[in-house]
Amino acid sequence: MTRRCPSCRQPAGERGVNRFFPFCSDRCRLLDLGKWFDGRYRVAGEPAGGDEAAPGTGEGEPTEGPDPGQEPGSGHLR
């Protein structure tokens, strides 16, 4: 069975033959990478480091206030 490229659905070839596997080409590989960088793809779960946000976002600083499970706008940064 031939695997399909996850970006364009064209045949992707075999792992040992196609250096861009599982993509069919370098173009499809880079388009997929760009989607990760743009934030269009995300991994479900808690951010790495618990309550800390990504560096430079200005979020995740410690605050005093209600528990994190309360409604947005109740004094806790998300």
Q: What's phi and psi for 11, nearest 5 deg?
A: -60, 135
54 falls within a domain? no
User: Domain count of the chain?
Assistant: 1
Tokens of 77: 């940064």
Specify the pLDDT at position 33: 96
Token pair for 54: 């990504």
Report if residue 26 sits inside a domain. Answer: yes
Judged against a pLDDT cut of 80, whether residue 76 lies above it is answered with no
Asked if residue 38 belongs to a domain, the reply is yes
pLDDT at 78: 45
Res. 23: pLDDT tops 90: yes
Q: What's the whole-model pTM score?
A: 0.53
Domain span at residue 6? 1-43
**Averaged over 46-67, what is the pLDDT?**
60
As a whole number, the mean pLDDT across the chain is 78
Look up the CATH number of the domain holding residue 38.
Answer: 3.30.50.10
Under the banding of pLDDT at 50, 70 and 90, the label for residue 30 is: very high
Residue 27 maps to a domain: yes
Which residue type occupies 75?
A: G
CA neighbours within 13 Å on the CB side: how many for 35?
11
End-to-end CA distance of the chain: 45
